[in-house]
Chain A
Amino acid sequence: MTIKGRAIRYGDNVDTDVIIPARYLNTSDPKELAAHCMEDIDPDFLKKIKPGDIIAAGSNFGCGSSREHAPIAIKNAGIACVVARSFARIFYRNAVNTGLPIVETGAEIDTGDELEIDLAAGTLKNLTKGTEASFPPFPDFLQNIIDAGGLLEAMKKM
């Protein structure tokens, strides 16, 4: 799968409380969650992005709570992929289980850069900077979950 989009960049330790503040967790409606995505780190986030954009970040993206509302909010806000130096482990699981594409790489990315990501080949091209990075593909076990369309579908066959 190839993802092409424009990056919006954040720093290290972007936590789940700023991705989707707990005050909005009295619902599980994906649209309502998406309406408050990234609100406490960037109140204008939804105005800045368009569908297909890519979030880029530093290390430990998605640290904090286990709320799956975080990847749900990001996905339903129209974000196509999250690229980070590293992910907090529960966010990583939740992204795999719910089918939000994520890429772990330390590649240098700034807001506005045009990216082209080939998930299967494990390559990330920064078309703006003219650079290219590679990243290890998911282990087969996880790729099978992704290919099955999420954990619950995959479990039916396990």
Chain B
Amino acid sequence: MTASQKILAAHCGRESVAPGDMILADLDLVLANDITAPVAVNEYRKAGCGGIFDREKVALVLDHFTPNKDIKAAEQCKKVREFAREKGIVNFFDTGEVGVEHALLPERGMVTAGDLVIGADSHTCTYGALGAFSTGVGSTDMAAGMAYGKVWLRVPSAMQFALRGKPRKWVSGKDLILHIIGKIGVDGALYKSMEFTGDGIINLTVDDRLCVCNMAIEAGAKNGFFPADEQTLEYLKAHGAKEPKVYTADEDAAYDSVTEIDLGALEPCVAFPHLPENVKTFSEFGDIKIDQVVIGSCTNGRYSDFETAAEILKGNKVAKGVRVLIIPATQQIYLDALRAGLLETFIEAGCAVSAPTCGPCLGGHMGILAAGERCVATTNRNFVGRMGDPKSEVYLASPAVAAASALAGKIASPYAL
């Protein structure tokens, strides 16, 4: 079995499972946000559910349209807030404590290796970076998970990505995952696990791996997975996570495909509008002027992302006419960046720094684009209208490319500085 399959088998009390099996599995954590939780609460109440399977294993994170963007968003948040209070949900995160869910949960030690996690948010696949099986579902799944602690799943087959070598400076997990999506396409891993293996893994930081697994869904995958290694275990311990269970694939595990990737050969790349698969390296395009840069989100809003951006921006000024938004993904990251002087670097360079929120990533608020405007973003989606007007454009890239672009006023490689 693959590692993902082993975790699923362990959670439905079976010795083994095979691709295509339909299982009903026990959950370690159920997540929703201020967009998906209100629908889950509606469904939960409509079906006459009363109980919560485990008050400590439900996470409700108000991160998308918060701080409340308008009256309707405020009403939605209020509905979740009241529900959390009524049911005694322990892990309820509101403004002041909240961060973007997929940065917040690992930081709070709420996911450990070997866990089975669902979230009513497609990027729930992020936690595969910690050796968990973690996947996005809808609000009804979430409601059922909250009430019964169970989820139905079709056991996925897997694609293996064997990594070797070490990425060059300025090349990060974002470039790796964009490279892969560019090769296999936005449905290249549909219904499947993407399992990362190989001795190159140690050259990717936990933050890199979180970024890679975050975008597994952009290839259509059910989950992304890195086997937990020493770095993972250290991270889990440092963040107070529960006792980990390490799963690795059997040596004779069956994969639909095996792709070898030399991390040392990767280059910084950019996904052009309007699909994450439209990936190009810098030799493949010319000057593209930009209006906005966003550095943040569950993909690249972690401390190390801001460190990278600050290294490039320090002592420089962002190009005239470019609006640069810095959005730390959690309060802790915000505080760490503040204490280390990174926020000062950003403000002196001419960036705007915001409180943690999903904000512009999904075209919610805090940096919406007008028709014809272009943005380089460290986020994960560049669909039509994703950050605002349907005639605006989003280019996906790493924090290094985003910072270099902020200085150049056009999409720029960090090597060109």
Interface residues of A (CB under 8 A from B): 13, 15, 17-18, 21-23, 25-28, 40-41, 59-60, 63-69, 71-72, 86, 88-90, 93-94, 97-98, 139, 141-142, 145, 150-153, 155-156, 158
Contacts and interface: CB of A to CB of B under 8 A. Distances in A.
B375 interface: no
Contacts of A93: 137-138, 141
Given A13-B187, A13-B275, A67-B36, A152 B363 contact: no
Interface string B129-167: 000000011111101100110101010000000000000
| Shortest beta-carbon contacts, A-B, top 9 | A152-B47, A94-B138, A141-B22, A26-B72, A97-B140, A60-B187, A68-B138, A26-B73, A17-B383
Contacts of A60: 186-187, 190, 220
Contact of B35 (A59, A67, A90): A67
B39 interface: yes
Contact of A155 (B64, B76, B148, B217): B148
Given A18-B385, A88-B187, A142 B138 contact: no
Count class of interface residues, chain B: 35 or more
Contacts of A141: 22, 152
Contacts of A145: 152
A28 B76 contact: yes
A66 B136 contact: yes
Given A64-B122, A66-B120, A150-B140, 6 more contacts: A22-B362, A41-B384, A68-B138, A94-B139, A151-B141, A153-B47
Given A66-B36, A152-B144, A22 B152 contact: no
Contact of B39 (A18, A68, A156): A68
B209 interface: no
Contacts of A17: 362-363, 381, 383-386
A149 to B, nearest CB: 10
Contacts of B43: 152
B170 interface: no
Contact of A88 (B141, B220, B362, B390): B220
B65 interface: yes
A64 B187 CA distance: 11
B195 to A, nearest CB: 17
B24 interface: yes
Q: Which of B35, B138, B141, B187 counts the most chain A CB atoms within 10 A?
A: B138
Interface in B67-86: 69-70, 72-73, 76
A136 to B, nearest CB: 12
Nearest to B35: A25
Contact of B385 (A40, A63, A142): A40
A158 B138 contact: no
A65 B217 CA distance: 9
Interface in B322-363: 362-363
Contacts of A63: 186-187, 220
A22 B220 CA distance: 20
7 contacts: A26-B69, A60-B187, A65-B122, A65-B381, A90-B122, A141-B152, A155-B150
- Greatest chain B CB density within 10 A among A22, A27, A139 is at A22
B38 interface: yes
A119 to B, nearest CB: 19
B140 A151 contact: yes
Nearest to A87: B190
Contacts of B203: none
Contact of B137 (A40, A66, A86): A66
B121 interface: yes
B275 A89 contact: no
B231 interface: no
B49 interface: yes
B211 to A, nearest CB: 18
B364 interface: yes
A21 B49 contact: no
Contact of A64 (B35, B152, B364, B381): B381
Contact of B140 (A13, A21, A23, A152): A152
B372 to A, nearest CB: 16
Contacts of B141: 93-94, 97, 151
Given A68-B139, A145-B152, A152-B143, A86 B190 contact: yes
B191 interface: yes
A152 B217 CA distance: 25
B222 interface: yes
Contacts of A97: 138, 140-141, 144
Nearest to A27: B72
Contacts of B140: 68, 94, 97-98, 150-152
Interface hub of B120, B136, B152 (most chain A Cβ within 10 A): B152
B42 interface: yes
A158 B24 contact: yes
Contact of B363 (A15, A22, A41, A90): A22
Contacts of B124: 66
Contact of A21 (B122, B148, B385): B385
